Amino acid sequence: MNEDYDLRVELIRVVDELYAQQLVTATGGNVSVRLPECDELWITPSAVFKGELLPEQLARIDLDGRPLESDGPAPSSELLMHCAALRARPDDRAVVHAHAAHATILANTGLPFLPVNSEAAFFDELPRIPFVMPGTQELADAVATALRESPAVLMVNHGLLVTAPTLRKAADRVEVIERASEIILGCYSLGKKPPTLPDAAVAEIRKKGDLVA
Name which of 19, 71, 20, 72 is nearest 42 in CA terms. Answer: 72
Query: CA 85, CA 79: separation in Å to the nearest integer?
Result: 10
Would you say 23 and 35 are in contact if contact means Cβ atoms under 8 Å apart? no
- The predicted-structure confidence for 139-197, as pLDDT tens digits, reads as follows 999 999 999 999 999 999 999 999 999 999 999 999 999 999 999 999 999 999 999 99
Query: CA 18, CA 92: separation in Å to the nearest integer?
Result: 19
3-class state of residue 24 by DSSP: coil
Query: CA 73, CA 54: separation in Å to the nearest integer?
Result: 11
- pTM of this structure: 0.94
